Amino acid sequence: MPKRTDWIKELNELDCLNVEFCETLTASYNLSDFFPDQPYLVKIFENYRSKKLNDLTLFWCVLISFMHWSSETKLYDKDKMEYINLKLYGILRGNSVSHKSGYIKPVREAFDFVERYYREQFIDNNNKFSTTCMESLTTAKLISELEMSSKFISSDEDPKEIHPNLICGFNGVYKLQRSTVRQNNNIHDRSLTVLIPTTGDRWPQLLEHFYDAHQTNGLYERFLYWVISKKNFVEEKHDMNNNLPSLEYLFITRMEIGHRIYIYDEDTSAYLKPILSAMRSNQSCDEISTTIPSNKRAEACQRRSADLIERIAAIFQNLIDTVMVLQDIDSIDFHRIQKHTFEKIKANVNRNFYQQKDNSDSHTESGLYPDHIDLKDLPEVQIKSVLKSPLSSMKVTLSAAKAAVRFFNELLLPQSIKLFNTDTNVTKNNTINELKIIEYHVNCFSISDLTHNGVFHNHKRNKIDVKEVISNLEKNSFIKRGKYIKAGPRAIESWIKQLPDPSNDEQILCFQSELHYNYEITLKQYLDTYTKSIDCNSTALCQSGKELLETQRLWISLLKEKLNGFDFDLTFSSKYFG
């Protein structure tokens, strides 16, 4: 074991590498990548780009917090005959200038607005207003507050302080006894939603805890993680569309929808079952391409991921259903809610959702009797552990489930694994730098493009050997060297990102496998990045560069067709797996 100071320094450097990988990942996607069939939902969040907020990061914050206003809506598992809580825990990580507060603030302001709009629902027995939002994490205060309502916790305090309560609250508080000198109260059907911003200054301590790869505490696997940096900044100007709903509209509409029971339709169930089963048994499956390291914490994270995917699929459907209520209302104003607009929201809810009275036999009614009743005197007593199936329900569709699986696999699971990664392999730094070039928004570039105002503008300060990074990518056939760019009258050394030949299946499979093994991205992600990237920063391409880029542009549609027909075996790689 090295000296303590050297050891802490090594952990800090390791954490920086993990974070940099996650920063690059979250900055590489847009919300539209996951909801191509939900343009109105996408526009709602893209509208916040006018406030310099990244649409995907804001969506993640809403994903975590949305079900706080769902009146304890549940997902019913027909196979297990149980009701599943749909609340989430999230940690938003970024340094002190990453604008974390810019994302937390609109969520909290919208929460305050909802509580003021429905103020009468938040008056306690002493006729005082009681907010559902908490920033204190003391156990005594949390239990006391849960008597009144489910709670939303947004605090930068260490969640370890109330570790047992967070684990309990994750699945919903089944029964919590609060005893005082004057009273003895039971707390039923309450849950917690947690959204914590952090700079990550204590993260190296977590890495030290998990360093031997055989530690897990059951808490951090329950959280979803999102890392932001200046890469997520919105630099370009966007005009506000005042006819689109704000977050306040989403939360108020979800309040009006009220308590609902969701179930998977047959197609969704058939799609999700093998995925969830594989994850719970630490097996691989085609839909989850993220590499799971062989250690106790990562494997626990993989098993817990099945629960998270279940919830996220149902929450995606809740968001889609909420947007459906708002979509045809022509009187929406981003800055205000008019009375007649609110009436239209209620009318749309009544038209599109089952009536609440039809679901009176939901789990909240089963087996709960006032303490003063002697159950032996009743002609019939419902056994509490045998929950009734819902008489009415809403469906979680296949499209919502597929979007949830993709979102989780490509963004959420990799961050949960990476942020707790304790592999000090020296090649990891090179891997991250290679990924920067793969994700670079230019397909043909010179070294000066990368180092002047590009991804390695700080290469000297950070001691990055850019030529070595380029050489590694060239050896693995991800880029090709040539003289593709003109600088005045002469052609200069430059590189073009490569695509596999669509007529060569073995080359496609190998290319896909190398991407997955080295960078944990899919060929489809690589193609999407390539499509969105410009060909060259310079206006002067040589003829050879133009021809190669044009040819590869034509290959993209052919490769995408091939991908739809392939059943990838991600263990295939002649180089790494023999």
Tokens found for residue 467: 């030529």
pLDDT cut 70: percent of the chain above it:
84
Span 175-188, pLDDT tens digits: 444 444 334 444 45
Q: What is the mean pLDDT of residues 349-375?
A: 69
Cβ neighbours for 212, distance < 8 A, ≥ 6 positions apart: none
Q: What is the mean pLDDT of residues 159-179?
A: 54
Per DSSP, 173 falls in state: B
User: How much is the pLDDT for 184?
Assistant: 41
How far apart are alpha carbons 60 and 96 in whole angstroms? 19
Span 487-525, pLDDT tens digits: 888 889 999 999 999 999 889 988 988 888 788 788 888
Q: What is the mean pLDDT of residues 298-307?
A: 94
Q: What is the pTM of this model?
A: 0.76
Select the more confidently predicted residue: 150 or 377: 377
At residue 91, the 3 state secondary structure works out as strand
Mean pLDDT over all residues of the chain? 85
- Cα 209 from chain centre: 25
Span 437-479, pLDDT tens digits: 998 989 999 998 899 878 898 888 777 889 989 998 998 899 9
Nearest to 356 by CA among 385, 325, 390, 382: 390
pLDDT-based confidence at residue 563 (cuts at 50, 70, 90): confident
Containing 77, the helix (H) or strand (E) segment is strand 74-77
DSSP 183-249: -EEEE-SB-EEEEEEE--TTHHHHHHHHTTS----SSGGGEEEEE--GGG---S-----TTS--HHH
Residues in the chain: 578
Cα dihedral sign for 323, 327, 328, 330? Answer: positive
Nearest to 302 by CA among 281, 273, 319, 322: 281
User: Domain ranges in the chain?
Assistant: 4-113+199-216+225-233+240-366+392-418, 427-565
Cα dihedral sign for 284, 287, 291, 295? Answer: negative
Q: What is the mean pLDDT of residues 190-206?
A: 86
User: How much is the pLDDT for 366?
Assistant: 46
